[in-house]
Amino acid sequence: MTSPEVPFSQAAENNKGPILQVLQQHCQAPGTLLEIGAGTGQHAAWLSAQLPHLQWQPSDVAENLPAIRHWLSQSPNPAKAPLALDVTDQWPSGPFDYLFTANTFHIMAQSLVAHCIAEGCQRLSPKGVFMVYGPFNYDGQFTSDSNRQFEGWLKATDAQRGIRDKEWVEQEFARHGRQCLTDHAMPANNRVLVFG
Ligand SMILES: C[S@@+](CC[C@H](N)C(=O)[O-])C[C@H]1O[C@@H](n2cnc3c(N)ncnc32)[C@H](O)[C@@H]1O
């Protein structure tokens, strides 16, 4: 299925199973899910097929949509056609029952993460949940040497990138009336933070 021309993430292949287990807990009711920063589209293609009761709407910046379309075309139960969404631009009106994003909060500048949380929370139904996968720090401390090294690599690629403090993320969600319901430990020193 893969070829040099088709964007592929080994990390997405590795973490999709553990992410599914978390989503199965928090996405039991049928509903709409907006995925922000879908990347290659591997999560959208596989997770949407495992969770057919969800209307899965992948999104990312426009340049990533061809890859997402490719991966969706390989899926037995494809998600909706991907939406061009740069979080700084106009968002779809929603409301959505679920929001999901993986490995984006350390890629976006911190001000963009705050913006993404604000815009997302505005479009989340009152009982909806916003699930965020990725590495986080606790009280300003790295949870592993590998995350510390990863931070060095992130800063070398773009000084605005960086692993966010869980407490800061919580504070931003609290501004929009959402609390951290669960903090799931995941393989490879990642977490899923679930806000609702
Ligand atoms: C490390 S990749 C993660 C991709 C995928 N979610 C995964 O876990 O494999 C970060 C993603 O964030 C997206 N992203 C970065 N800035 C963005 C923005 N301003 N608006 C929307 N997506 C953005 C990138 O396009 C990219 O797909």
Per-residue pLDDT of 144-159, as tens digits, reads 999 999 999 999 999 9
- The finding on whether 22 has its CB within 6 A of some atom of ligand 1 is no
d(CA 119, CA 52): 26
Residue spans of the domains in the chain: they are 13-34+48-54+86-195
Distance 164 CA to ligand 1 centre (A): 15
Mean pLDDT of the chain: 96
pLDDT 10s digits, 18-42: 999 999 999 999 999 999 999 999 9
Ligand 1 pocket test, pick from 40, 60, 132, 163 with the greatest ligand atom count within 8 Å of Cβ, gives 60
pLDDT of residue 78: 73
Question: Any idea which residue has 């553990």 for tokens?
Answer: 18
Q: Which conformational region is residue 115 in: left (phi greater than 0), alpha (psi within -120 to 50 degrees), or beta?
A: alpha
Tokens found for residue 35: 């995925």
CATH code for residues 13-34+48-54+86-195: 3.40.50.150
Dump the DSSP string for the chain: ---TTS---HHHHHHHHHHHHHHHHH--S-EEEEEES-TTSHHHHHHHHH-TTEEEEEEE-GGGHHHHHHHHHT-SS--PPPEE--TTSPPP---EEEEEEES-TTTS-HHHHHHHHHHHHHTEEEEEEEEEEE-EEBTTB-SSHHHHHHHHHHHHH-TT--PEEHHHHHHHHHHTT--EEEEEEEGGGEEEEEE-
User: In the prediction, which pLDDT does 77 show?
Assistant: 76
pLDDT of 1 reads 43
pLDDT tens, per residue, the chain with 196 residues: 445 578 999 999 999 999 999 999 999 999 999 999 999 999 999 999 999 999 999 999 999 999 999 999 998 877 999 999 999 999 999 999 999 999 999 999 999 999 999 999 999 999 999 999 999 999 999 999 999 999 999 999 999 999 999 999 999 999 999 999 999 999 999 999 999 9
- Our answer on whether the CB atom of 129 is closer than 6 Å to any ligand 1 atom is no
Task: Give the separation between CA 189 and CA 187, rounded to whole angstroms.
Answer: 6
The Cα 165–Cα 163 span in angstroms is: 7
Report the percentage of the chain scoring pLDDT > 70.
Answer: 98
